[in-house]
Structure 1
Amino acid sequence: MRFVALLHAVNLGKARKVNMAQLRALLGTLGLSGVQTYIQSGNALFDADPDPELGLKLETALGAHFGFSIPVTLRTADDWQQTARACPTDLLTEPVTVAFLTRQPAPDAVAALQARDVRPERWALVGQQVYQTVPEGTRNLRLSQAVLTRVLGVPCTARHWRTVQAIAEQL
């Protein structure tokens, strides 16, 4: 089965550096095949047998190899393709990011997020993804990853829409 692994918060500054060649090699030593990476932001594609512990195994290996904790969000290739098709078209009139949640948030947490005024940003929760517009750039987001994680009570990692589309083309 083909998977996409999203590493959280790597290569954003001088700390938490993950070399993509080292990442590919490490994933290969774990018995994963067809390993590819896409840009330097911690996106890995690979083939593996379905395993409910796969994410935990990756996190353990990454932490041991790179020396710091690296949360991982996994999606199957089918899930990824669905994500690439599911962005509400009214959001695509502006730059968009997708926050990939590690699990479905509770209904009361979604209601709390809906109660927040984040204008001029707009967003939509579809499955385990939050699609959001980025009218003033990612550095000025009112609905940042930290806010999403805190309000929804679910860890997440975000990718630009063009990255979502590019990975979908590689699957």
Structure 2
Amino acid sequence: MIFVALLHAVNLGARRKVPMADLRALLTGLRLAEVRTYIQSGNAVFSADPETDLRGRLEAALEAQFGFPVPMTLRTAHEWREAARGCPAHLRDEAVVVAFLRDPPDPGRVEALRGRDVTPERWEVVGQQLYQTVPEGIRNLRLSAAVIERHLGVKVTVRNERTVQTIAAMLDT
């Protein structure tokens, strides 16, 4: 089965460095096949046999290798393709980022988040993704990853639309 792994908050500054060559070597050493990475923000595509706690095994190996916890979001190739196609039409008139939720959000918490005014941004949760417009640029988001995590109670990692679509294309090659 093909998986996409998204590492949370790596390579953003001087700390929490995870070189992609080292990530590929680590994943290959864990007997994952066809390991590929995309850009320096911690995106990996690989083949593996499905197992009960693949994410936990990978997170433990990452922490042992790099010396700090590295939360990870996993999607199957099928789930990734759905996410790549899943942006609601009413958001597509602007630049969009996708916040990948590590776990399913509680519907009550999603509704509570709707009460937060993040104008001019618009957003929608579809499955385990939060699609969000970025009219003032990603650095100026009012609905940041930290705000999403705090309100929804799940770990989040954000990728821009170009990254999402590029990884989807990688799945077909």
Indicate whether the TM-score tops 0.5: yes
Aligned-pair CA distance for 1:59: 0.3
CA distance in 2, matches of 1:153, 1:40: 27
Cross-structure match for 1:53: 53
* Number of corresponding residues: 171
1:17-58 CA-to-partner distances (Å, cap 9, x unmatched) read: 110001000000000000000000000000000112100000
Cross-structure match for 1:85: 85
Cross-structure match for 2:10: 10
Does residue 23 of the first structure (1) align with residue 23 of the second (2)?
A: yes
Q: What amino acid is aligned across from residue 126 of structure 1 in structure 2?
A: V
In structure 2, stretches of 5+ residues that fail to align are none
Alignment of 1:17-166 (within 5 A): 17-166=17-166
Q: Alignment partner of 2:44: what SS?
A: strand
Question: TM-score, normalized by length of structure 2?
Answer: 0.97
1:132-152 CA-to-partner distances (Å, cap 9, x unmatched) read: 001111111000000000001
CA distance in 2, matches of 1:52, 1:161: 30
CA distance in 2, matches of 1:87, 1:38: 21
1:107-138 CA-to-partner distances (Å, cap 9, x unmatched) read: 22011111111000000100000000011111
In structure 1, stretches of 5+ residues that fail to align are none
Q: How many percent identity over aligned positions?
A: 63
Q: What amino acid is aligned across from residue 141 of structure 1 in structure 2?
A: L
CA distance in 2, matches of 1:139, 1:151: 19
CA distance in 1, matches of 2:79, 2:139: 28
Q: What amino acid is aligned across from residue 60 of structure 1 in structure 2?
A: A
Q: Aligned Cα RMSD in Å?
A: 0.6
1:52-77 CA-to-partner distances (Å, cap 9, x unmatched) read: 21000000000000111100100000
CA distance in 1, matches of 2:50, 2:35: 16
Aligned-pair CA distance for 1:102: 1.2
When structure 1 is superposed on structure 2, of 114-123 and 102-111 the one drifting more is: 102-111
Aligned-pair CA distance for 1:90: 1.9
CA distance in 2, matches of 1:97, 1:23: 24
Aligned-pair CA distance for 1:11: 0.4
Question: TM-score, normalized by length of structure 1?
Answer: 0.99
CA distance in 1, matches of 2:77, 2:107: 27
Q: Alignment partner of 1:97: what SS?
A: strand
